[in-house]
Amino acid sequence: MFNRFSINFDYDGKHYHGAIKPLQGGLQNRIPTTFQVFLNNVYCGLMKRRGDDWETDSPKCAVMVNVIGNRIYDWYE
């Protein structure tokens, strides 16, 4: 459940590949709620799930927060 996993997606004409590292801190419906995000070999900050919404502490991935969040959610389905 807390193992790192890969994501890939295209956003605004650019391809992103990266890794998501779930953090132990909380669970919602048996899914972690906090994740470290690495995109194109760069640390992009934390993402947190609040109910059905996603938020981030990083301006680097703020515009892609829902895209990244959907990839995380897909991993656990």
Tell me the pLDDT of the chain (77 aa) as tens digits.
789 999 999 999 999 999 999 998 888 888 899 999 999 999 999 999 988 899 999 888 899 999 999 999 999 88
Domain that holds residue 66: 5-76
Q: Which residue in 16, 14, 72, 28 sits closest to 46, CA to CA?
A: 72
Q: For the whole model, what pTM was predicted? A: 0.90
Alpha carbons 54 and 48: distance in angstroms, whole number: 6
55-64: b or e for each residue (b if 16 or more CB lie within 10 Å)? ebeeeebeeb
Q: Is the dihedral of CA 23, 27, 1, 48 positive or negative?
A: negative
DSSP letter at 62?
G
* Per-residue pLDDT, 51: 83
> Count of domains in the chain?
1
